[in-house]
Amino acid sequence: MNGAVSSRYAAALADAALDQKNAEGVKRDLAAFVDAFFSSTDLRNVLESPAVGNDAKRNVIEKIAARMDLSPAVRNFVYLLVDHRRTELLREIQQAFHVELNTRLGIAEAEVTSARELSAEERKRLTAALEQRTGKKIEARFREDQSLVGGAVVRIGSTVYDGSVREQLMRLREQLEAE
């Protein structure tokens, strides 16, 4: 049930971000607020306590929003979450918002695992090839796994492109065993 609730809040924030043509700013500001919220016990206590009145909570949010230079969309969104006592869902909402925004903007996330660290030029070429193959803008995260021996494995959603030497060796072994 929390997933559905988080998705609804995320969709509403995505609507606001896109209406204001400030998707990246809202994403950045939401991440900054979520980090501040979960790193400050005092802030969580004030915003989640039923003993603190709504006016006091709004004043705290207003001061924090001004100090952090949060966009009005994020400030208003935090008001909404606090009013509806949904702050415990902030991280889940943030993740759902990221997915929702990427979907609406035609961005696909790719996890690229390579046998060695890729240079900036290799990353750029690989990302361009993935964008051409998928027809979407690619937001790639790179990591290393030396057990691949060589090559790379790319996961985009549920699709896996395995161009690793390890996989090629396994296929070759299967062919030889079948003969």
Query: Does the global pTM surpass 0.85?
Result: no
Rounded-to-integer distance, Cα 97 and Cα 63, Å: 24
Q: Contact, 154 vs 161, CB < 8 A?
A: yes
Rounded-to-integer distance, Cα 175 and Cα 144, Å: 28
- Tens place of pLDDT per residue across the chain (179 aa): 678 899 999 999 999 999 999 999 999 999 999 999 999 999 999 999 999 999 999 999 999 999 999 999 999 999 999 999 999 999 999 999 999 999 999 999 999 999 899 899 999 999 999 999 889 999 999 999 888 878 888 999 888 888 777 777 788 888 888 87
Sign (positive or negative) of CA dihedral 121, 127, 128, 133: positive
- List Cα–Cα distances, 103 to 90, 139, 149, in angstroms: 20, 12, 34
HSE-up of residue 74 (Cα within 13 Å, Cβ side): 23
Rounded-to-integer distance, Cα 144 and Cα 14, Å: 33
pLDDT at 1: 63
Domain 2-103 has CATH 1.10.520.20: yes
Rounded-to-integer distance, Cα 126 and Cα 118, Å: 10
pLDDT at 95: 94
pLDDT at 164: 79
For the chain, give the longest Cα–Cα distance: 77
pLDDT at 163: 78
Strands (DSSP E) along 15-122, which ranges? 107-114
pLDDT at 83: 93
pLDDT at 177: 86
Domain map of the chain by residue range?
2-103, 107-178
Rounded-to-integer distance, Cα 74 and Cα 153, Å: 36
pLDDT at 167: 77
pLDDT at 171: 82
